Amino acid sequence: MPRMFGTDGVRGLANKSLTVDLALSLGAAAASVLAFDPAADTGHESSRDRQRPLAVIGRDPRVSGEMLESALAAGLASQGVDVMLVGQVPTPAVAHLTGHHQAALGAMISASHNPMPDNGIKFFAAGGRKLSDELEDRIEDALEARITGPTGNRVGRISRLDRETALAPYLEHLLGTVRHPLAGLKVVVDCAHGAAFEAAPAAYAKAGAEVVAINAEPDGYNINEGVGSTHIEGLQRAVVEHGAALGLAHDGDADRCLAVDASGALVGGDEIMAVLALGMSEAGELKDNTLVATVMSNLGLHLGLTEHGISVVTTKVGDRYVLEKLADGEYSLGGEQSGHLVLPEHATTGDGTLTGLFLMARMAETGKSLAELAAVMTVMPQVLINVQVADKAKVSVSDSVKSAVEKEEAALGETGRVLLRPSGTEQVVRVMVEAESHDVARESAERLAEIVGAV
């Protein structure tokens, strides 16, 4: 039976695969493991002096979040957990508030950058930490068990904070990270009609920037609809129209951030990582002068940072693998090409608003434009071909594929790269080639795709 938890919680079509019944059961199961299981390493000792453990629940604005929030809260309360509903706030706000309120667990109801009909439930352990595979497996096992809830005064209570009160500790935390005033910087922020619609513009304005907020009017249905970090075109136009120094684009739950320079050119996740890595290195704050990135990060990131004495350690695709590597090496910066960056000193998960603040602080500190800062790396042309195969496992052991990859890598030399990655959910192998020119990358990728498809 496949795992219910994916790389980012439980996600599916709301009211079909992700039902109210499932949310109710997940709440009860999560309570049994994260609040009450003494054998589970959840780290929530600080909450055990309460009469009942506490859970913090936030959500993005999509309409299905209303019913799922009610069901999840009921499941938790049925097991003797008090629930604090903090409403429409970013995912990293929930992670922070889980630690701030010394809660046993936190939960975010969101499908991130997915379209409105989808939704998801992501849990945090005490301190706002992401769950390990072991804890997720324990919750899945608990779903199969018959859980008996308490009665009387041991049943959990459900309370709701207004958004201003809920966001206050998170915004105070964000502003405490800003080391250089942002006065003089004009920024356009695309909130994707999502969870950042209030928090991100407020944080940037409080830090001193002049803020123009767009797509900050969620109605429950318009989240991610042609806007945000997956649809950057509107932000590119707005930055030029408003004469802004930069633009920042968030996704539906605001754990990601992509940027646009003053000319409207995209500054992607790799370039943002390069800018921050160089700044932290110069300040002596980049542990072992090392950045953590996934295998999908552009070769230009590696080449550009190498010139400045910065190493790049790579992981599998997925923010959980970045987080694991950051923890293992006690590194200080990591992230993904998608704009999901993690600064462990300040956050337990990716935080798009925190990323935006750090990026603008670097601009203010150096007096340089975003385009000048992003020039630390040159994005290498990248071609990605998804190849439908009969058996992706056979591809990974195929001698003909291995030989072809070796041949292409030899031809590309140090200025190119080949990556073959099987899909986690489909019989598909992703063939990615980077090279000095798009034509070279395309021709190499097409040759490899033909051989992969023939296996």
Residues 376-421: pLDDT tens digits? 999 999 999 999 999 988 998 999 999 999 999 999 998 899 999 8
Q: Is the pLDDT score of 47 beyond 90?
A: no
Residue 139 pLDDT more than 70? yes
Burial 308-340 (b: 16+ CB within 10 A, else e): eebebbbbebbbbbbbbbbeeeebbbbbbbbbb
Active site (annotated) includes residue 112 = yes
Q: Rounded distance, CA 58 to CA 121, Å?
A: 10
The CATH-assigned architecture of domain 176-374 is 3-Layer(aba) Sandwich (3.40)
**Separation of alpha carbons 424 and 55, rounded Å:** 31
Q: What is the mean pLDDT of the chain?
A: 94
Vertex 122: Cα angle to 120 and 125 (nearest 5): 170
Nearest to residue 218, comparing CAs of 193, 191, 181, 185? 193
Reported as a pLDDT band with limits 50, 70 and 90, residue 179 is: confident
- Domain 382-453, CATH number (from 3.40.50.970, 2.40.50.140, 3.30.310.50, 3.40.50.800): 3.30.310.50
112 among annotated binding-site residues: yes
Domain with CATH 3.30.310.50 in the chain: 382-453
CATH number for the region 10-165 comes to 3.40.120.10
Q: Report how far residue 125's alpha carbon sits from residue 156's, in angstroms, rounded to the nearest whole number.
A: 18
User: Where residue 1 falls among pLDDT bands split at 50, 70, 90?
Assistant: low
With 0.85 as the threshold, say if the pTM is over it.
yes
User: What gap in Å lies between CA 221 and CA 238, rounded to an integer?
Assistant: 23
- Confidence class for position 144, pLDDT limits 50, 70, 90: confident
3-state secondary structure of 311: strand
pLDDT at 61 over 90: yes
* Nearest 10 degrees: Cα torsion 132, 23, 351, 82: -90
What pLDDT band is residue 270 in, cutting at 50, 70 and 90? very high
Q: With 60 as the cut, is the pLDDT of residue 66 above it?
A: yes
* Per-residue pLDDT, 318: 83
pLDDT value at 45 more than 60: no
**Is 251 marked within a binding site?**
yes
Whole-number pLDDT of residue 77: 98
Residue 272, CA distances (Å) to 78, 150, 295 in order: 44, 49, 16
What confidence score (pLDDT) does residue 11 get?
94
So what's the pLDDT on residue 48?
44
pLDDT value at position 41? Answer: 64
- For 360, phi then psi, to 5°, come to -70, -35
Residue 391 assigned to a binding site: no
pLDDT at 184 over 80: yes
Looking only at Cα atoms, what is the longest distance across the chain? 72
With contact defined as beta carbons under 8 Å apart, do 23 and 64 qualify? no
Burial class (CB in 10 A: 0-12, 13-18, 19+), 295: middle
Helix, strand, coil tally for the chain in percent (to 5): 40, 20, 40
> Under 8 Å CB-to-CB from 138, ≥6 apart: which residues?
33, 37, 40
Task: Check whether 205 has a pLDDT greater than 50.
Answer: yes
pLDDT beyond 50 at 46? no
- Most confident range, picked from 3-17, 45-59, 184-198: 184-198
Query: Where in the chain do CATH 3.40.120.10 domains reside?
Result: 10-165, 176-374
- Angstrom distance (rounded) from CA 403 to CA 172: 55
- For the record, the structure tokens of 150 come out as 């308490």
Judged on CB neighbours under 10 Å (0-12, 13-18, 19+), 289 is middle
* 353: confidence class by pLDDT, cuts 50, 70, 90: very high
Instruction: Please pick, among 32, 112, 281, 332, the residue that the annotation labels catalytic.
Output: 112
The answer to whether the beta carbons of residues 237 and 215 sit under 8 Å apart is no
- pLDDT band at 209; cut points 50, 70, 90: very high
